[in-house]
Amino acid sequence: VSPGTLAPLLPVPVLVLLAGAALAPLAARLHRRLPAVVAVVAAVTATGLLLAFAPTVYGGRLLVDYLSGVLPVHGAALGIAFAADPFGLTYALVASGVGAVLAGYTLSELSGLGRRELGGYAALFLLLDGALVGSALTADVFNLFVWFEVAALASYALTGFFLERPVALEAAFKVLVLTTIAGFLVFVGTALLYSEHGQLNFGALHEALHHAAAHGHLPPVDRIALALLVAGFATKAGLAPFHGWLPDAHTAAPGPVSALFSGLMVNLGIVAIGRLVLQVYGPGTGIPVLGVLTVLGLVSALGGALLALVQDDLKRLLAYDTVSQLGVVAVGLATATTTGTAGTVWHLVNHAVFKSLLFLCAGAIVHLAGVERLSQMGGLARRRPLIAVAFLVGAASVAGIPPLGGYVSVGLIHQGLLDSGQPVVLALLVLAQVVTVAALARAAYLAFFARRGEPYGELGRLRPGMATGFGVLAALSVAAGVLAGPLLPRVAAPAAGWLLDSAGYARAVLAGGGHLGAPAVPFDWADPLELALFGVSLAGGLLLAVAAVRRPFAGRVAALLRPLRAVQTGSVNDYAGYLTAGVLVVAAALLL
């Protein structure tokens, strides 16, 4: 199929998901379970349509569609552009594909819901998924803000959806406050950019910014706009210190919703940051934003991992690990090297898969056994071996055990850090990885292998649909590693190429299409340094996990982490304060 016929179809996957969102509540009138079927069908259809773009886009071609055919005139683009580059398409595919798996899983786990609940749930689910696909494909700053708000609105409702748990209300309020403030930041940042340059299109903005940078210093308003946009999207991505909402939202929601939030929604923030920092502003503007991203990433990676280490609530532990993993992604993005960026793209895919899997496992335990805390679990490996296997596959991918996906993506990010000459950052990232391995090993031990004093009162059966969800996601985790050889040069390398060639991307968006060859992304499974780092993090992590569980040391570890944990006060005022402080620090750093 020629690019000319494919490009006008770019908005169709989003439309399919949004149409599904509108149809789902109506379908509930016909049959109770029909909304969930609508959700699965819409997500599978969207994935299929996106796959139709894949050969062209991964072949190095940028597909561009100006909605309603409002084309740019003399380099000024007023029409809204959708542009599929390999980076955006990868994220869109993950959002719709994993979304389909999660929708199918929901059909099984939450099928006991009533007619209206299931209709509303499916509508919100598809609305959020559609916004994620839209945000991945858009090439317009204001359109990005609109998708951000659509995703936010759906996430508010999903967090507070299961009102039988009062903590859901508390979590929903915190999500609302923090994400609303983030929305203001993105809104004002976008408006400042527009009023300075009169452009909203990514390509036109890039050219205007570079024109300004080439004629002397960029005006401070461009720096403030970038600070506001980075802070706003970092809130969505859950980077520290903007992360206050994330653990609460994940703790309160049921398993598939947590998986949707953690595996797919937080990526919206990091995808937007990647686009704005690498493609719109690009390397030529001389703003020290990569350094700021590295610092934010390191704080998140270390802080999230440490908070996860002694956490007793399993879902909250996984949520803190999400903060940590998104920190790793931010650090990888900030390397701005081909290997580092390719690793980032791959880690986003990996994280979507393994974190969804881990949250489904945690949600299944809560659903079947009715316990949320690790101290109440134990012995589940014998009672529910399938959940244990699925959890261990996910945890092994996080820990980077070859041949799973995590080894590949973290290895590439490490390589990118060496390429850009940042050994100290690399050392800190390995330290964060040690703590992450420890946190997950401790969780796996306490939930599945530790001895439980009393038998479980009531332990539900694992439904076939749930088992299928585990199977598909576990298989994807393994495939992301085993198939890395053929997939990296075809998916991650072209994505990194388009992300780093900001001038080429800008030209192609404005010209309505373009072509770029994929750079080489060397990856060696037997790289001695990477194997050594893996060995260090695994051995160190297991030792630390033993220390965090065994009696004489466990108290000391907990005491050491008490000051850090006291930061999570649970007060919405404090979290908004952290966010404000973060905005001020980011703005100050970018203005200097």
Partner 1 sequence: MIVVNYLAAAALFALGLFAVLSRRNLIKIVMGLSLMESSTYLLLISLAYRKGSTAPVLLGPPPGSSPERLAHGNVADPVLQNFCLTAVIIGVAITGVFLAVVVRTAQHYRSLDSDRIRELRR
Q: Which two tokens stand for residue 47?
A: 């994935």
Q: Which stretch binds partner 1 (CB under 8 A): 172-180, 331-339, 384-392, 488-496?
A: 172-180
Asked if 254 and 167 touch (Cβ cutoff 8 Å), the reply is: no
Q: Does 187 bind partner 1 (CB under 8 A)?
A: yes
Q: Does 251 bind partner 1 (CB under 8 A)?
A: yes
Closest distance to partner 1 from the beta carbon of 443 (Å): 16
Do residues 442 and 327 lie in contact, with contact meaning Cβ atoms separated by under 8 Å? no
Shortest Å, Cβ 137 to partner 1:
19
- Token pair, residue 187, equals 């809104």
Minimum distance between the CB of residue 171 and partner 1, rounded to whole angstroms?
6
The answer to whether 577 contacts partner 1 (rule: CB under 8 A) is: yes
> How far is 218 from 209, CA to CA, in rounded Å?
8
350 close to 409: Cβ distance less than 8 angstroms: yes
- Residue from 171, 268, 323, 330 binding partner 1 (CB under 8 A): 171
Contact between 194 and partner 1 by CB under 8 A: the answer reads yes
- CB 325: neighbour CB atoms within 10 A? 29
> Judged by CB under 8 A, which of 493, 568, 587, 590 binds partner 1?
568
Q: Which of 7, 77, 128, 172 binds partner 1 (CB under 8 A)?
A: 172
Query: 438, 441, 449, 437: which is closest to 385 by C-alpha?
Result: 449
- Taking the C-alpha atoms of residue 344 and residue 60, their distance in angstroms, rounded to an integer, is 19
Paired strand residues for 76: 73
Q: Is 80 in the site for partner 1 (CB under 8 A)?
A: no
The stretch near partner 1 (CB under 8 A) out of 184-192, 257-265, 499-507, 545-553 is 184-192
Distance CA 328, CA 541 (A): 17
Binding status of residue 157 toward partner 1 by CB under 8 A: yes
Choose which of 30, 70, 167, 588 interacts with partner 1 (CB under 8 A): 167
Q: Does 169 bind partner 1 (CB under 8 A)?
A: yes
Question: Is 52 a residue that touches partner 1 (CB under 8 A)?
Answer: no
> Which one-letter amino acid corresponds to residue 262?
S
Binding residue for partner 1, selected from 279, 311, 337, 356, defined by CB under 8 A? 311
Is 570 a binder of partner 1 (CB under 8 A)?
yes
Contact 145, 186 (CB under 8 A): yes
130 is an interface residue for partner 1 by CB under 8 A: no
Q: Which residues of 402-436 are buried (b: 16+ CB within 10 A; e: fewer)?
A: bebbbbbbbbbbbbbbbebebeebbebbbbbbbbb
Which of 128, 132, 372 lies closest to 255 in space, CA to CA?
A: 372
Kindly tell me which residue out of 73, 163, 214, 592 binds partner 1, with binding defined by CB under 8 A.
163
Q: CA-CA distance, 362 to 165, in Å (whole number)?
A: 17
Please state the closest distance from residue 577 (CB atom) to partner 1, in A.
5
Give least dist CB 574 to partner 1, A: 9
Asked if residue 375 binds partner 1 (CB under 8 A), the reply is no
Phi/psi class of residue 113: alpha, beta or left (left: φ > 0; alpha: ψ in -120 to 50)? beta
Number of neighbours of residue 34 by Cβ within 10 angstroms: 19
Tell whether residue 177 is a contact of partner 1 (CB under 8 A). yes
Choose which of 140, 222, 248, 321 interacts with partner 1 (CB under 8 A). Answer: 248
- By CB under 8 A, residue 56 contacts partner 1: no
- CB 372 → partner 1: shortest distance, Å? 12
Which residue in the set 75, 421, 569, 588 belongs to the binding site for partner 1 (CB under 8 A)? 569
The rounded radius of gyration (Å) of the Cα atoms in the chain is: 22
Assess 479 for contact with partner 1 (CB under 8 A).
no
Nearest to 554 by CA among 356, 216, 265, 309: 309
Q: Which is nearer to partner 1, 154 or 230 (CB)?
A: 154
Q: What is the DSSP letter of 163?
A: T
The Cα 223–Cα 323 span in angstroms is 26
Q: What number of residues does the chain have?
A: 592
Pick one of 53, 105, 156, 261: the residue that binds partner 1 (CB under 8 A). 156
CA distance 249 to 157: 11
Which of 184, 370, 385, 522 touches partner 1 by CB under 8 A? 184
**Residues engaged in binding partner 1 (CB under 8 A):** 78, 142, 146, 149, 152-153, 156-157, 160, 163, 166-167, 169-174, 176-177, 180-181, 183-184, 187-188, 190-192, 194-195, 200, 247-248, 251-252, 311, 316, 565-566, 568-573, 576-577, 580
